[in-house]
Amino acid sequence: MARELDEKGIRLSVEAEQLLRDSDDPELVQKIIALNKPLVGKADMELLLSPKKEEPKVEVRAAGPVPLAKEYAADIKVIHTKDVTGKSRTRGEVENFVNYFRNRYQRTSRMLRSMGKEALMDLKDAKGRINERVRVHVMVSAKQETKKGNLLLEIEDMTGSFKAVISGQRDEKLAEKAKSILLDDIIALSGKVLEPYMIVDDVEWPDFPVTRKELKRSENDLAVAYLSDTHFGSRYFLEKEFRAFVDWMHGRGEAKELAAKVKYIVVAGDLVDGIGIYPNQEKELVVKDIYQQYRMFDDFVESLPDWVEVIVCPGNHDAVRRGEPMPAIGKDLLKSDITSVGNPSTVIIEGLKHLMYHATSIDSMISNLPNASYMHPEKVMVEYLKRRNLSPIYGGNLIIPENIDYMVIDDEPDVLHCGHVHKNGYTQYRGTLLINSGTFQDRTEYQVKQGHVPTPAMVPVYEMKSNRLRTLDFRSG
């Protein structure tokens, strides 16, 4: 029976396949073929096996509000130049590393040039201006604290290298800036040149314009639900809570008027738990086949109202290359009708520019930034925007040296959506809404050991016309 369906290009969900095995209807396969659907799910099978089961479903949906989202066509535009999918050309050679850092430096320097009243100059020219004040744009190659408590930086640009000293003993604001300087940061330094270093009196990151304050609004009164780290296949996956979310999407439960507006679901990586991601992971899996794990995600997509559009990017648990930037999850794994993009990627939804990034680099950022913690991932996300880069520390997480640095943030997004840390967090920063969407995985043994406290089953939903962000808690049903 399965062979006949395969020949027709028809695939069954896990639950639908079980219903086929249990059925004694000799005509069931032909009925499935007659549906003329590439993916047949549990609801389809129940309809074929017992048509009467359709009636209560119709009654439940009719009880809710008319779904506003159904009245609008999808408005999604993927900015392919920001996505590595199909464009990876690196061989990991020296030339690739040189091209990567040069591209990153040049693009970030252009942003720095547009800031400040003083002109930027190359280190080659600045070093000769003894006792003069200069402003240079450099990359930080090394840093250390001196015996006197000053910060000594080794800096370089395309023309040479130099040393810089930052003393914050008399300037608390400068001292705070100095603490936030990361290795590989590309910054502007202002100060007086001495021999053999410069004394810094100001530090600037490329940052977003101060004048950019208001959040952009969409024309249509539609909403986006943000997910990440669903981890299908894990024994910690919160199935009951996830089903409650799907039920809510169908207008069952409270906040029906909000559910009726949800036209898009955006998933920022770790759709599945994966295989062999960390030692002894198999002990924490209920599904040990990667294809079956993605099939579970496809089943979720199929269970949604047919007017909902799903957009996904991969994370470090997904079946793509581990290094960033990551290409989109392939069609051999995800069979459902979704928009699959790379990590990071930029997608314009209803005119609002969404920057999607799973945020693996958040671990290294928390380790190196003062006052950063897993309790507030949104604060680290602000640092991404200040630096105009999603992975400032090279080597903090695995970065593939492409000839283009896909982690650079050239354009200001309207929404930055991240995941990875299993912790909900929100803030606004200079016209950008920052969302970390948490998880649908319960607290794992690893998280207990690390002291991480996730916020599972809490889904942020953003109404794009009114700029209203709400979080729905499905832990309580």
Structural domain total, the chain: 3
CA-to-CA distance for 270 and 274, rounded, in angstroms?
8
- Burial letters for 104-131: b for 16+ Cβ neighbours within 10 Å, e otherwise? bbebbbebbeebeeeebeebeebbeeee
Q: Higher confidence at residue 74 or residue 147?
A: 74
Average pLDDT over the chain reads 91
Given a cut of 80, whether residue 7 has pLDDT beyond it is no
Q: CA triplet 359, 365, 368: central angle to 5 degrees?
A: 170
Percent of the chain clearing pLDDT 70 (strictly above)? 95
Query: Chain-centre distance of CA 294, in angstroms?
Result: 19
Name the DSSP letter for residue 247.
H
Residue pLDDT, tens place only, 225-283 = 999 999 999 999 999 999 999 999 999 989 999 999 999 999 999 999 999 988 888 88
* Pair (227, 376) in one structural domain: yes
59 and 82 share a domain?
A: no
Task: Say if residue 250 is in the same domain as residue 369.
Answer: yes
**Cβ atoms within 10 A of the Cβ of 199, count?**
15
What residue numbers bound the domain in which 150 lies?
Answer: 116-204
Asked if the structure places residue 409 within a domain, the reply is yes
Residue 109 lies in a domain: no
Residues 303 and 232 both lie in one domain:
yes
> What is residue 51's predicted lDDT score, i.e. its pLDDT?
52
In a shared domain, residues 176 and 226: no
Mean pLDDT of 371-382: 95
Claim to verify: residue 249 and residue 186 sit in the same structural domain: no
Same domain (yes/no): 369, 465:
yes
42 has pLDDT over 80: no
With beta carbons less than 8 A apart as the criterion, state whether 130 and 195 touch. Answer: yes
Cβ atoms < 10 Å from Cβ of 137:
25
Beta-strand (E) ranges in 46-185? 76-78, 133-145, 151-157, 160-166
Helices (H), 235-361: 239-249, 256-259, 290-303
Residue holding tokens 């930034």?
Answer: 369
Sign of CA dihedral 321, 325, 326, 327: negative
Residues 6 or more apart whose CB falls under 8 angstroms from that of 345 comprise 78, 79, 82, 83, 313, 328, 355, 356
Q: Check whether residue 125 and residue 158 sit in a common domain.
A: yes
Q: Where are the alpha helices (DSSP H) in 275-347?
A: 290-303
Number of continuous H segments (helices) and E segments (strands) in the chain: 14, 19
Q: Is the pLDDT of residue 213 over 70?
A: yes
Distance CA 196, CA 392 (A): 27
Say yes or no to pLDDT of 73 above 90: yes
Higher-pLDDT residue of 420 and 16 is 420
Q: Residue 199 maps to which CATH number?
A: 2.40.50.140
In a domain, 103, yes or no: no
- Domain at 458, CATH number: 3.60.21.50
Residue 110 belongs to some domain of the structure: no
Query: Tokens standing for 247?
Result: 């039920």
User: Is 364 domain-assigned?
Assistant: yes
Q: What's the pLDDT at 396?
A: 87
pLDDT value of position 352: 98
Residues 320 and 414 in one domain: yes
pLDDT tens string 139-177: 999 999 998 889 999 999 999 999 999 997 778 899 999
pLDDT in tens, 44-68: 787 888 754 343 433 334 444 568 9
Residues 226 and 167 in one domain: no
8 A C-beta contact, residue 366 and residue 54: no
Tokens 């020949």: give the residue: 7
Cβ neighbours around 236 below 10 Å, total: 19
For the chain, percent of residues with pLDDT exceeding 90: 74
What pLDDT score was predicted for residue 118?
80
Torsion sign (Cα): 164, 168, 169, 171: positive
The pLDDT score that the predictor gives to residue 54 is 40
Q: Could you say which DSSP state residue 371 is in?
A: T
The angle at the Cα of 393, spanning 383 to 339, to the nearest 5 degrees, equals: 70
- Indicate whether 271 and 391 sit together in one domain: yes
| 71 domain residue, yes or no | no
pLDDT in tens, 423-454: 999 999 999 999 999 999 999 887 888 778 89
